[in-house]
Structure formats: C-alpha cells, structure tokens
C-alpha cells in the first residue's frame, strides 16, 4: 500500500470545509459502513485512505471491501489521518468520493408516473436531514430535493446520519426549491406541505400518484414561497400536549402512510 | 434580585454531573422554553437563575414567566453562569428542579384500562430518548419506562430534545426493565416489541387496550431478557434499501398507528 503524499493529505484535508467541497466537487465519507456503501454504489470513489494501524486492528482488514484496482488505496500516519475525520473515535478508514450532480432534466427523467418524492425546505439540522434520507431509503421513496438554504448534503454529520442512503436514492441538493416545485407541477406532481393542525388529517388524505411531500424548517415550518405553491396541506393528528413533532418523526409517519396506502 | 452565593454556584454546578444529580435528586433545565415548562408543571422548582444581562436582553425580561414567590430567583455573573449551562449559546436562564420519583405502585396506579406506554430498552443516544418522549407527548401516550442501561432522563441533551415532554407525561426511569414488564403483564399489559422484518406487519396489528411498546438499542435492538417477555412482535414494512430505521422514527410510526387505530 502506498503512503498518501503530503500534497494529497493537504488537498483532502480541505474537503472537511464546505467551500472546498463546492470547488472540488468531492467529499469525504468516514467509517467502514459508509465507505462500503460508496464502493458498492455507482458513485465514483477516487481514493480509500486508512490509518497506519487503526482500521486493520478494529475491523479485520480490507479484504471484505470491494475496492477496484482503479481506486487509489493509501495509508497515512495517525496525525494526518485525524485531519481527515470528523469523529473522535474513528474506525480508521475514509474515502474520497466524487459528487454526483444532476441537471434538472436528468433528475426529473428518473421518475415514473408513480413516484413519491420528499423535499426539504430550509431543514437546518444535519441529523434531521440525514435521518430523513435514511427514512426515505427504508420506504423506497423515489428521490429527494434539498433546498439551497438547508444544511449541505455532503456535511459529514448529514452523511453519517443517512447511514448510506445518500448512495441509494437520487438527491438533488442546493436547489432553488420554489422554482423546482413550480416545474414539478407542470409534469404532474402535486405539492403536499405538512403543517401543524390546520391541514387535512393524514389518515383521510389520499396521496396522488405523483406526490412531493415538503418538510419545513424546524422552527419556522414551510417558507411562504413554497406555501404559495402547495396543492394540499396535511397534518398529523395530535392527542397530547407537545407543541410540535420533530421534522424527521413527522416525515417517517407521513412517508409510512403514503407508502402503505 | 439576589446574587447567587458562591456556595450555591458550587453546589448547582455539580448538577452538571450525573453522579451529583443522583445524590441530590435535582437537575438543571436550561433555556426559556424548558424553564417555562418546569414552572407551569407540578414539578418542584427550587431556583431560577439568570445571568447578569443575557436573559433580559434576549427574551425581554422575566415578567412573562410564572415564577411563584416561594421560588428563589437569583442573578449570577456570566463566568459562573457558564458553569451551569451545557449549550454554547445560552439564553441566560436555568432552573434547578427537584426530581419527581415514583414507587412502582404509584406509577402503575396512574393508568386506566386503556393505556399505551412506551418502554426504552437500552436506548443510548440522548437525542433519541428525548425525541421519543416528545413524540409520546404529541400522541398523548400515557407514560414511559426508561431502562437502567439507557441514557439518563436528566441528561441535559435528553431534556433539551424532549422539548418539555418530561414535565407532561410520567416517565419511570432507571428501572430494571424485565422485572417491570413482568409485573405489567400481571395487570393486563401486553408487551409488544419492535423488530426488523420478522414481526407482524404494523398495518395488520391491532393494539390491545393496555399496550407497552418496547423500543430497543440503536445497534443491538431488543435485549434477550426483554425479548423473552414479549407477547407480540411487530415490524414496519420496508420497500427500499436501508438496513434499519432510526429508533425515534420507528417509535413515531408505531405510536401514530396505535393512537389512530
């Protein structure tokens, strides 16, 4: 195994910052599970980097990973490796992955006449965005949209919370959500927003064949620009005292209802 | 307003540690919303502490809080205040609250013949425990049980994620879950565990009048000792690729189903 050059350490370390992820169109994934998901997906993995001893010790070697000959495999000293990781107790393995980017045309072409999508409108918490995508992945949601004021998809905490979902379903991120939804309506999607109290009770709502379920900001809910585009509003019944539900929980309940109707 | 004495600062600062919360049977809550929920509940608030300027500036004074004459109201310098808080950007207000503790007899007496309870079996993540309680609160779940190997209820991150639910529904924490469930069965509760794949599909399950829904550890699921006590196993249908659902999301979907059936 080759050692990662000091220049490569420098270049890859920068990917910890959003600015450089934007410029380079690459990002880091960390830990055996996520690296494995990346390797088994159709995303392009540029390099797999392990620390001197940690990885081999903790998870028993690289043999079980599907690392193609064309992928650079590097070792690096612990002190450099630490700059590449976001977690305190790392499993000693990271991968550098190229972003998969879509044109609007490519994105919308992927969906059949029966498709549920989830759109996030200014969802700010990385754990919420990741958990929402993980939930979409469980229920086989066709795709997701992430507004340009939401947290970035390639943020390490988001990636970790997705548990690999990012490699399973198409996510169009950094989008101007109102204009995307406006277009979606012209190709037969209905825009369904989730609100507290005032919408149709979830159990009484029949999801259309092409549905986009929009989830709003944790504190402010759906933005006015998106609200104006909504075809339907739905609400989850409340029987207790809490003022609101966590946005990920609301998402899970709604997607379960939409998938099993 | 009196200044908090150096001795009181010292004593209350210790409540940031679980060990002292156990000894003193008190805990700290932080931020306007949680302090307000504590003051409006039937829990005993021992003191409300504000920092020199922060609180008044940020949220416009103490007038709107329901602070009884009998509750100590103190001010303290920023450098001391910081020791009492767990968050980086504090709202400048904390309260010292006495734990509400139940005997098993008192706890079980609270429930009618129609009652859904949620039990957490070694749930480790503070955000998950808090979000589960917040969800229970939304759906009007009658009570919750938290096993002695789960994260502690009075952990600041748990309290924050509950959004005040801790003051709304009875939570019996630090319990030996198998023996509690064993007793619950003798008073007509059915024990329902959630498993991946192998259980009755959620949509086909009719929740009994007295149900305890048990949620397991994030990585290992339900413990063998609890599994042996289960009357029924249920599963959430999966249509996509994710290996699992977040435990809070699973909880939301199941409680919604149980509450609306």
B222-235: b (≥16 Cβ within 10 Å) or e: bbeebbebbebbbb
Residues of A with CB under 8 A from a CB of B: 127, 131, 134-141, 163-165, 168-169, 202-203, 236-246, 248-253, 256, 259-260
Q: Smallest CA–CA separation between B247 and chain A, in Å? A: 10
Nearest beta carbon to residue A241 from set B137, B242, B248: B137
Q: Smallest CA–CA separation between B227 and chain A, in Å? A: 24
**Which residues are CB-neighbours of A183 under 8 A, at least 6 positions away?**
A104, A108
Q: Smallest CA–CA separation between B242 and chain A, in Å? A: 5
The mean of the pLDDT values for chain B is: 93
Q: Three-class SS string for chain A?
A: CEECCHHHHHHHHHHHCHHHHHHHCEEEEECHHHHHHHHCCCCCEEEEEEECCHHHHHHCCCCCCCCCCCCEEEEECHHHHHHHCCCCCCCCEEEEEECCCCCHHHHHHCCCCCEEEEEECCCCCHHHHHHHHHHHHHHCCCEEEEECCCCCCCCHHHHHHHCCHHHCCCEEEEECHHHHHHHHHHCCCEEEEECCCCCEEHHHCCCCCEEEEEECECCCECCHHHHCCCCEEEECCCCCCCCCCCHHHHHHHHHHHHHHC
Share of chain B above pLDDT 90, in %: 79
- Which residues of chain B are within 8 Å of residue A165 when distances are taken between CB atoms? 241-242
Q: Average of pLDDT values for B100-118?
A: 96
**Which residues are CB-neighbours of B84 under 8 A, at least 6 positions away?**
B9, B12, B13, B15, B16, B28, B30, B49, B76, B94
Q: Is the pLDDT of residue B194 over 70?
A: yes
Under an 8 A CB cutoff, do B249 and A135 touch? Answer: yes
The reported pLDDT for the residue numbered A210 is 98
Under an 8 A CB cutoff, do B250 and A252 touch? Answer: yes
Chain-centroid distance of CA B241 in Å reads 31
**Is the CB of residue B148 less than 8 Å from the CB of residue B174?**
yes
Query: Could you tell me which chain B residue has the CA closest to the CA of A168?
Result: B241
Local confidence band at A55 (pLDDT 50, 70, 90 cut-offs): low
Under an 8 A CB cutoff, do B237 and A259 touch? Answer: yes
Tokens of B108: 């079980």
Local confidence band at B225 (pLDDT 50, 70, 90 cut-offs): very high
pTM recorded for the entire structure = 0.94
**Is the CB of residue B242 less than 8 Å from the CB of residue A163?**
yes
Residues of B with CB under 8 A from a CB of A: 127, 131, 134-141, 163-165, 168-169, 202-203, 236-246, 248-253, 256, 259-260
B29-78 pLDDT, tens digit each: 998 899 999 999 999 999 999 887 666 655 566 777 888 878 888 998 88
Q: Which residue has the higher pLDDT, A182 or B55?
A: A182
**Can you tell me the ipTM of this complex?**
0.92
A226-235 pLDDT, tens digit each: 999 999 999 9
Residue B118: strand pairing partners: B144, B213
Share of chain B above pLDDT 70, in %: 96
R_g (Cα) of chain A, nearest Å: 20
Alpha carbons A173 and A166: distance in angstroms, whole number: 11
The reported pLDDT for the residue numbered A87 is 73
The reported pLDDT for the residue numbered A52 is 75
**Is the CB of residue B134 less than 8 Å from the CB of residue B163?**
yes
**Is the CB of residue B233 less than 8 Å from the CB of residue B204?**
no
- Which residues of chain A are within 8 Å of residue B203 when distances are taken between CB atoms? 260
The reported pLDDT for the residue numbered A19 is 96
DSSP per residue, B67-111: --TTSEEEEE-HHHHHHH--SSS--SEEEEEEPP---HHHHHHT-
Q: Average of pLDDT values for A177-203?
A: 96
- Which residues of chain B are within 8 Å of residue A137 when distances are taken between CB atoms? 240-242
Left (φ > 0), alpha (ψ -120 to 50) or beta: where does B191 sit?
A: beta
The reported pLDDT for the residue numbered B78 is 87
- Which residues of chain B are within 8 Å of residue A239 when distances are taken between CB atoms? 138-140, 259
Q: Average of pLDDT values for B80-89?
A: 81
**Is the CB of residue B119 less than 8 Å from the CB of residue B236?**
no
Nearest beta carbon to residue A236 from set B164, B248, B256: B256
Q: Is the pLDDT of residue B99 over 90?
A: yes
- Which residues of chain A are within 8 Å of residue B31 when distances are taken between CB atoms? none
The reported pLDDT for the residue numbered B57 is 54
Q: Average of pLDDT values for A131-159?
A: 97
The reported pLDDT for the residue numbered B65 is 80
**DSSP H/E element including B22:** helix B18-24
Q: Average of pLDDT values for B172-197?
A: 97
Alpha carbons A144 and A177: distance in angstroms, whole number: 11
The reported pLDDT for the residue numbered B94 is 93
**Is the CB of residue B248 less than 8 Å from the CB of residue B132?**
yes
């Amino acid at each position: 195994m080759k050692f990662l050059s000091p220049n490569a350490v420098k270049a890859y370390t920068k990917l910890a910052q959003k600015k450089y992820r934007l410029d380079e169109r690459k990002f880091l994934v960390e830990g055996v599970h996520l690296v494995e998901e990346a390797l088994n997906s159709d995303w392009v993995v540029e390099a797999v980097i392990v620390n001197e001893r940690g990885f081999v010790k903790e998870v028993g070697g690289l043999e079980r990973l599907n690392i193609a000959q064309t992928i650079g495999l590097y070792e690096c000293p612990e002190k450099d490796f630490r700059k590449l990781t976001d977690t305190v107790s790392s499993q000693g393995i990271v991968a550098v992955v190229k972003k998969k980017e879509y044109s609007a045309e490519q994105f919308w072409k992927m969906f059949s006449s029966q498709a549920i999508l989830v759109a996030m409108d200014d969802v700010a918490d990385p754990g919420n965005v990741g958990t929402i995508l993980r939930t979409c992945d469980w229920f086989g949601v066709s795709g997701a949209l992430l507004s340009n004021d939401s947290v970035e998809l390639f943020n390490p905490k988001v990636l970790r919370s997705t548990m690999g979902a990012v490699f399973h379903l198409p996510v169009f991120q950094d989008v101007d959500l109102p204009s995307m939804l406006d277009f979606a309506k012209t190709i037969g999607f209905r825009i369904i927003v989730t609100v507290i109290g005032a919408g149709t009770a979830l159990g009484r709502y029949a999801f259309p064949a092409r549905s986009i379920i929009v989830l709003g900001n944790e504190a402010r809910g759906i933005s006015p620009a998106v609200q104006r585009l909504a075809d339907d509003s739905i609400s989850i019944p409340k029987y207790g005292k809490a003022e609101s539900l966590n946005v990920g929980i609301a998402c899970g309940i709604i997607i379960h209802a939409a998938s099993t109707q």
